[in-house]
Structures are given as structure tokens and as C-alpha cells.
Amino acid sequence: MIRWLVLAAVLLTAAGDGFAGELRLLSYNVRGIPPVITFLGRPGARIPLIVEKLEDFDVALLQETFSYQDVIERCATDADCVTYHGPGRKFRWGHVIAAPVLGLCWLTPRCRLPTNSGLMTVAQPARVDTERIAAERFERCWGYLIGGNDCFAAKGFVLVRTTLADGAEVDIYNTHLDAANWRWDRSTRKSQIAELGRAIAHYSAGRAVIVAGDFNFRKHRGEDLAPLERFQADLALADSTACADADVADARGLDRIFFRSGDRFHVDCVAAGVDPSFTYVRDGKERPLSDHDALAATFRISRLAEATPGLE
């Protein structure tokens, strides 16, 4: 009799928690910059190979898709994926000042100056329902023809609200912050991460969240890391590196995947690390498909037994 009572209690607990399922996520800076201004060659050959691998993920967060967004959209359409763009371009007078210097870019095939956000979120509609809630540019940028040339890009974030098959919801943010290491770059990143934090607090109050992308904060620079650590603490975000295999961790720490639970759904990191499959063979040698690591994470999302009142 006692054994049956214990079994009934376990089943009731499981029903209350409402296990929702798993979400497999990728965050990857694909280096989709025109060949004339990139050190990593053959983006036209690399990008389609990257897209072929996206089917392994429920949601893929891509950065620096700049000049190859149409390639990604075409490939994704063939694979029956859904794509969401980040914020649109923003005119700045620095574009005019720098245009003559970069004018030679237009003489090369497929050259488009990276003036969009470079952010694309790719989702598999057969596995998850998605809706773009927001796509916003950061107010600040720094650098024309210096540092990371970031002011050419409309860097910011895109928020896609994702619903799993069992109804579990999670807000997924894809972002890319200012690059390079000049004092002005670090100051700009500090402003951008604070702006991203305010956006998450506004759009995702009480909600389960995953925020990932190319943050450009370096592990070996404590002063540079401080704003990122404050962002993580203020929003109660956990770092997916806590569940990562040490042998496949991102050594530089530029790319990150953070997560937190909400008032209705619990988010647990099952596995995380660098996906070693993002390589291709060129000239008889195996080479990476980008100059960044492909970060992958698997999350288990569970419905909490009782939702907090007022958040329906």
C-alpha cells in the first residue's frame, strides 16, 4: 500500500512540474564580411556549408551575416526554416566620410558594406513556434576604419519568443556588441550591455530567458569583463559554461550563452560547449568555418507547478 502511495505522489509531482521538452541552440559568428575586407577567405563557399548544419538546432543565433543574408535566407527556405533579421541599417555621417576609402569594395563581386545588423535568428518551425518581438539598435557605436569598424553595422539585438511543442515559452535574445580593445570600444560595450539589460528587463520581466551572441568581452581583461558580470548578476543569468565540457569550452570567451528561469518555466542547461563539426576541407586541410567557435547548448525547459499570480 505504501509503495503505491509513493508512486502516486511521484506521478502527481511530475504532472505538476509539467516537463516541456528540450531546446537545442547554436550561437555562431559566421564572419560573413565581403572578401576584400576579411582575413578569412571564401565566405561565399563557407556560408552555405554553415547553413547546412543549422538543421541540427531548433534555434540558431547567427552574427556577422552582413553580406550573405540572402544566401542564408535562400538555403533556409529550401530547408523549410524561418529567419528573423536584427535591426535595420542606420545612417551616420561617418559612412560618408569613410565611403571613398572603402569605395574599392564595390569593384569586387558580392561586395556590400556591412551596414545592417548582421544578426539573423534561424528557427525550425516543425519543432518550435517563434515570433519576433523586438529588434533594436544600440544607441552608441565606435569606430570607422579603426578598431572594429563597428559604426558601419547596426549592432543591437533581436528578440524571438519561442514556444516548444508542450507550450513552454522562452525569450531568446541574439546580440552582437562592439569589437576591438581601444578605450572607446570598452566604453561603448559598457553602454551597450547596460542597454541590453534594460531591454531584457522591459520585454522579459518574469519570463524565462536565453541571451546569446558575440559579446566581445575578453576573459583575460578583468576591467573589460566587469560590465558583463554586472549584467549577468542584475538579471540573475547563469552562464552555460557551468554545464560545459572543459575540453570543448570557448577559450577566448567572446561568445557567450546565458540563461535564467522565469515565473512559469524552469530552464536547466543539460549540455554546452563548442561544436567541433563546423569545419570544412580546403587544399587538403581541415579548416574552421569561421574565426569564432560555434557554441552549442541543450536546455531542458519545465513548466513550474504553480505560475506566479498576475503573469498569465
Task: For residues 52-69, give the mean pLDDT.
Answer: 93
Mean pLDDT of 73-85: 86
The pLDDT tens digits of the residues spanning 275-296 come to 999 999 888 899 999 999 999 9
Confidence of residue 20 (pLDDT cuts 50, 70, 90): low
User: Confidence band (pLDDT; 50, 70, 90) for 76?
Assistant: confident
Residue 67 forms part of a structural domain? yes
10 belongs to a structural domain: no
The pLDDT assigned to 249 comes to: 55
Check residue 94 and give its pLDDT.
52
Q: In this predicted model, what pLDDT tens digit does every residue of 158-199 receive, in sequence order?
A: 999 999 999 999 999 999 999 988 899 999 999 999 999 999
CATH number at residue 181: 3.60.10.10
Tally the domains of the chain: 1
Percent pLDDT > 70 in the chain is: 77
Domain assignment of residue 168, yes or no? yes
In a domain? residue 112? yes
- 216 lies in which domain range? 20-303
Domain-embedded: residue 74: yes
User: Which range among 94-103, 199-208, 239-248, 252-261 shows the weakest confidence by mean pLDDT?
Assistant: 94-103
Taking only the tens place, the pLDDT of each residue in 106-162 is 444 444 555 689 999 999 999 999 999 999 999 999 887 777 778 888 899 999 999
Give CA–CA dist 247/149, Å, rounded.
Answer: 33
Q: What are the pLDDT digits (tens) for 204-251? A: 999 999 999 999 998 777 778 899 999 999 999 999 998 887 555 565
| pLDDT computed for residue 99 by the predictor | 55
Report the pLDDT value the prediction gives residue 41, as an integer from 0 to 100.
Answer: 61
Q: What is the pLDDT of residue 74?
A: 83
In a domain, 117, yes or no: yes
Reported as a pLDDT band with limits 50, 70 and 90, residue 3 is very low
Q: What is the pLDDT of residue 12?
A: 38
Tell me, yes or no, whether 91 lies in a domain.
Answer: yes
Q: Residue 215 domain-assigned? A: yes
- Residues 36-63 have a mean pLDDT of 84
